[in-house]
Amino acid sequence: MALPQPLRPGPTPYELEFIASDELIEISPSFSMERTRLIHGIIGPFRPPGKSKVPLWLAVNLKLKRKCNIVPPDWLNVEYLQERLAEETSSPAFSALPFRFAEIAKVLLDVAADDLALPDKIRSLLKDLREARQSKSRDGLKKLDHIQLEMANLCSMEINELRPFFVKAMGVFTKLQTDSQGNADDQAGGQDMDFSW
Amino acid sequence: MDYSDDFDAVRATSSTAWEDETEDIGQTSLQRLTRWWINERGAPDILVWQAQLVEELLDSLHNQATMVQHIRSDPRTSEQEHFRVVLVQTEMERVKFLIRSYLRVRIHKIEKYAGYIMREPGVQVKLSSGELTHAQKYYDLISKYFHSSALEGLPENMRSLDEQLPNGRSMITEPDKDRGVFVRARKKCENVRLPNGDSLTIEKGSIHLLRYRTVEDLVARAEVELI
C-alpha cells in the first residue's frame, strides 16, 4: 500500500514533529565550525561562545552529541506559560501560542530539559494549558454547521486531534442538509404517516 | 585542500528564509514542498504535481551527494569536516523522506481514483507523465483482473465498471469535495463563496474549517494552505 491505513486520515503527530523540526531555534554551540551549506540554507559559522540559529532537528542532533546548548524560545518558560494559562481560564477565546508550540515544546522537553528552567513546572503548565484548551474546543463543536467554522489560534497538534471528529460531524451535517433539500416533500409525507400510527 | 568553498557556495536563499511561514517570497523549495505535501494529505482530490519543486530538490540532493562523495573520498579530510558531512547527510535523509512521502500520498490517490482519472482529462493534466502511466496501467490491470475473476461469468450487460445508476451514483470512486478541511490563510482572501450563497472574508493567518469545494481554487493558487 502506498499510504498505510493509519496515515490516511491526516498527518500523524510524528509527521507534525518532523515539520516542526524545520523551524529555527537558537543554540550556543560548544565547538567551532565553518559555514556549512545545507539544502535548507546556510548554517553557521559556529564560534563559541557566540550563538547561532539552526533548524530544530539540527539543534537536537547536536544536543544529543553534547555539542551545544539550546536556547529555549521566549515562550517556553514558566512566566509566559502561566500568563497564557491565566488568559486561557479567564477568557472564552484561545490564547495566542505559536502554531507549532506543542511539537517544539515536546522535543525540547525530551532532549534538552537541562537547558530549560524548571522543566517539570513547564511540563505541568503545558498539560494544564492543553486541558483548558481541549475543553474549549469541545465547546466549539456547538458552533459547527455544514458550512464553515473559524477557529482562531488553534495549534497544529490540536487541529490534528480534532480533525477526525470535526470533519465527520461536518459530513453528517452536509448529508442532513442535502437530504432535507432533496426529499423535503417525501419527508413531510413520510412523517405524517409515521405519526398517524 | 580547503573544502570550505564546497560547503559555502552561497545559494540564492538566505538564512532569513525561515522567518515567515506565510510568505512565498524567500521560502525555500523545501518549505514549499512541505506545504504541498500536507496540502496533498489533506485534500480529498489530487492536486497539481509540483514538478519544479521536486526537480529543484532532487538537484540539491544530487549536488549534496556529489559534495559528500568528493569529501569522503579524500584521505586528507579532517575530523571536523567528517562531522559536517554527517550533518549534511542527516539533512539529505530528511529531504528524501519528504519527497517519498509526497509521492506516496499521490500514488495512493492515483490508485484510489484510477477510474476517475481515466475518465476526466482535466484531472490527467495534474499528474506527472510517470504518474499518468501508472494510473493507466493500474486501471488496465484492475479491470482485467475483475473481468477474468468475476465479470466474465456475468451477463454481458452487467460487466461494465463505469455504470451510472439512475440515482446519480456511479461505480467510479470520485473524490468527495464536500469533505471538511482545515485551512490557514496565507493572505487575505475576500469574497469566498460559501455553499449557502453567502460570502466570507478570510483574514491572513486565520484558521477555518470549510468544505474542500469552497477553497479548492484558493488551495490551487496557494492563497490558503491545508493544515
pLDDT value, residue B164: 79
Distance from CA of B104 to the nearest CA of A (A): 5
Per-residue pLDDT of B14-71, as tens digits, reads 333 334 455 555 588 999 999 999 999 999 999 999 999 999 999 999 999 999 999 9
pTM of the model: 0.87
Q: Does B1 have pLDDT greater than 50?
A: no
| Residue A40 one-letter amino acid | H
User: Tens-digit pLDDT profile for chain A (197 aa)?
Assistant: 688 888 888 899 999 999 999 999 999 999 999 999 999 889 989 998 899 999 999 999 999 999 999 999 999 999 999 999 999 999 888 999 999 999 999 999 999 999 999 999 999 999 999 999 998 888 878 888 777 888 888 999 999 999 999 999 898 988 888 777 766 544 443 333 333 33
Write the Ramachandran bin of A160: left for phi over 0, alpha for psi from -120 to 50, otherwise beta. alpha
Please give the Cα distance from A66 to A59 (Å, whole number). Answer: 10
Question: Which domains occur in chain B, in start order?
Answer: 4-10+20-113 (1.20.58.1030), 176-227 (3.40.5.60)
Query: Is any Cβ of chain A less than 8 angstroms from the Cβ of B196?
Result: yes
pLDDT value, residue B128: 95
Domain edges within chain A: 5-180
At residue B91's C-alpha, the angle toward residues A28 and B100, to 5°, is 150
Query: Is any Cβ of chain A less than 8 angstroms from the Cβ of B181?
Result: yes
At residue B102's C-alpha, the angle toward residues B17 and A6, to 5°, is 120
Q: Do B84 and A36 touch (CB under 8 A)?
A: yes
CA distances from B212 to A146, B45, B57, B187 (A): 12, 9, 29, 18
Do B60 and B95 contact (CB within 8 A), yes or no? yes
Per-residue pLDDT of B115-172, as tens digits, reads 999 999 999 999 999 999 999 999 999 999 999 999 888 888 888 888 777 777 788 8
Query: Is any Cβ of chain A less than 8 angstroms from the Cβ of B34?
Result: yes
Is the Cα torsion angle B24, B216, B177, B166 positive or negative in sign?
negative
In this structure, which CATH number among 3.40.5.50, 3.40.50.720, 3.40.50.10480, 2.60.40.420 belongs to the domain A5-180?
Answer: 3.40.5.50
